């Protein structure tokens, strides 16, 4: 297959499978945005390395983040070797091992929270409520990365609420189950974060936006996946 412009744009490499449902959303959003930017039929030249989620989840549950880093790093290096000229992790929790991974690559690896921080700074938001897995929500990389953008306060759900979020992610969304009951629960947890002063609610698990695909999300919801996708396209194909 040949044609003008074939393979002359940077290939985007996606480390996927964490879970495949969120990876599928990354792939869809990338190509929808590419069509919007460059016209119908213009899809993104990309590579996807799909990891087996089950052993990764077992490693994370056991606290073996070095093991997680080895699997994710192997996938990212394989994408680089295959020709990817930028790499992205399609799971926010996987960014817990981002620094070591990015340092080992010779191509850019775009952090999911960098475009989030830029968006929040431009929006004037300084107090953000975070909905994420327990593996990510309480980690320093959240505070540190968002602090670089001037976010002064990161609010997290209380213990019981965090357990509810984890249950929805682990037993429903990563299994492809999207229910109205789960959305009501997430909305209620977000409401309690707003009551504590959150000016916006960051969906910092790549599965959580699936709850809002059937209808509009509240105006203060910030979708980390959508912002990450746009940043990837900006890197690969800058807007004219």
Q: Give pLDDT, residue 27.
A: 92
Q: Are residues 70 and 99 in the same domain?
A: yes
Q: Are residues 78 and 27 in the same domain?
A: yes
- What b/e readout covers 66-83, taking b as 16+ CB neighbours within 10 angstroms? ebbbebbbebbbebbeee
Is there a single domain that holds both residue 39 and residue 72? yes
User: Is residue 121 included in any domain, yes or no?
Assistant: yes
Q: Is 174 exposed, middle or buried (0-12, 13-18, 19+ CB in 10 A)?
A: buried
Confidence at residue 11, expressed as pLDDT on a 0 to 100 scale? 86
Q: Which residue has the tokens 């009501």?
A: 184
User: What digits encode the pLDDT tens for the residues 42-82?
Assistant: 888 899 999 999 999 899 889 899 999 999 999 999 999 99
Q: Note the pLDDT of residue 141.
A: 75
Residue ranges of the chain whose pLDDT lies below 50: 1-7, 239-240
What pLDDT is stored for residue 152 in this prediction?
Answer: 75
Summarised one tens digit per residue, pLDDT across range 96-126 is 899 899 999 999 999 999 999 999 989 888 8
DSSP 232: H
Strand bridging mode 12-16 / 86-89: parallel
Domain that holds residue 171: 113-224
Judgement on whether residues 103 and 137 belong to the same structural domain of the protein: no
Amino acid 2: pLDDT: 37
Looking at the structure, tell me whether residues 102 and 191 fall in a common domain: no
Residue 184 located in a structural domain = yes
Residue 1 pLDDT: 35
C-beta of residue 173 within 8 angstroms of C-beta of residue 210: yes
Kindly state whether residue 67 falls inside one of the protein's structural domains: yes
pLDDT at residue 9, rounded to an integer = 56
- pLDDT at residue 10, rounded to an integer: 64
Same-domain pairing of 175 and 211: yes
In-domain check, residue 1: no
Q: What is the predicted pLDDT for the residue at 150?
A: 78
* Alpha-carbon distances, residue 87 vs 38, 119, 169, 221 (angstroms): 21, 21, 24, 26
On whether both 33 and 78 belong to a single domain, the answer is yes
61 & 120 share domain: no
Structural domain count, the chain: 2
**Which residue, among 127, 149, 141, 52, has the nearest Cα to 92 in the 3D structure?**
141
pLDDT the model gives residue 48: 95
Instruction: Give the pLDDT score at 4.
Output: 40
């Amino acid at each position: 297959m040949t044609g003008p412009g074939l393979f002359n744009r940077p290939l985007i490499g996606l480390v996927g499978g964490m879970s495949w449902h969120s990876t599928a959303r990354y792939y869809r959003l990338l190509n929808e945005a590419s069509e919007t930017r460059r016209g119908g039929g213009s899809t993104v030249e990309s590579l996807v390395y799909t990891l087996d989620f089950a052993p990764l989840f077992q490693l994370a549950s056991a606290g073996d983040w070095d093991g997680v880093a080895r699997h994710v790093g192997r996938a990212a290096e394989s994408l680089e070797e295959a020709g990817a000229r930028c790499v992205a992790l399609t799971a926010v929790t996987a960014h817990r091992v981002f620094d070591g991974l990015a340092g080992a690559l010779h191509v850019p690896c775009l952090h999911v929270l960098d475009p989030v921080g830029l968006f929040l700074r431009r929006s004037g938001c300084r107090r953000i409520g975070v909905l994420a897995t327990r593996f990510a929500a309480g980690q320093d990389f959240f505070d540190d990365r968002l602090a670089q953008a001037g976010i002064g306060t990161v609010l997290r759900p209380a213990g019981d609420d965090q357990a509810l979020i984890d249950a929805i992610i682990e037993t429903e969304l990563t299994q492809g189950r999207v229910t109205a009951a789960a959305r009501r629960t997430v909305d209620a947890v977000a409401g309690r974060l707003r009551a504590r002063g959150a000016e916006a609610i960051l969906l910092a698990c790549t599965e959580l936006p699936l709850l809002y695909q059937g209808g509009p999300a509240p105006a203060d919801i910030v979708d980390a996946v959508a912002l990450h996708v746009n940043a990837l396209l900006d890197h690969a194909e800058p807007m004219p």
